[in-house]
Amino acid sequence: SQTIHQWPATLVQPVGSPLSLECTVEGTSNPNLYWYRQAAGRGLQLLFYSVGIGQISSEVPQNLSASRPQDRQFILSSKKLLLSDSGFYLCAWRVTGNTEAFFGQGTRLTVV
């Protein structure tokens, strides 16, 4: 069966520090991968998605970047965090088609 791992679960970082969040998927090949952000009490904001290794689409221009160095690995990064980067970050995967997405457990990022 397929599983998705996302870490860390919680992170507190100072303003101006770098960020690296990692997401890996097991049990499937060539998944579509997604990074979402959820501000407190708000809906999902799509940040990045990837349909293959090295292929990244950015939905919202901002202080973040994403990379997909391996088929089932998706990384969210920042060189210098802003206070506004605080939020709940969710990784997800699905296969191409009229299919559902499966989510990781999320990372709570607080920038102080």
Partner 1 sequence: GDSVTQMEGPVTLSEEAFLTINCTYTATGYPSLFWYVQYPGEGLQLLLKATKADDKGSNKGFEATYRKETTSFHLEKGSVQVSDSAVYFCALSTYSGGGADGLTFGKGTHLIIQP
The residue ranges that bind partner 1 (CB under 8 A) are 6, 32, 34, 41-44, 46, 49, 51, 57, 59, 90, 92, 94, 96-106, 108
Beta carbon nearer to partner 1, 8 or 18 = 8
In the complex, the smallest distance separating the C-beta of residue 103 from partner 1, rounded to whole angstroms, is: 4
Of the candidates 98, 83, 97, the residue with the CA atom closest to the CA atom of residue 19: 83
In the complex, the smallest distance separating the C-beta of residue 29 from partner 1, rounded to whole angstroms, is: 14
Q: How many CB atoms lie within 10 A of CB 32?
A: 17
In the complex, the smallest distance separating the C-beta of residue 100 from partner 1, rounded to whole angstroms, is: 5
Buried residues in 76-110 as b, exposed as e (16+ CB within 10 A):
bebeebeeebbbebbbbbbeeeeeeebbbebbebe
Beta carbon nearer to partner 1, 39 or 82 = 39
Residue type, 46: L
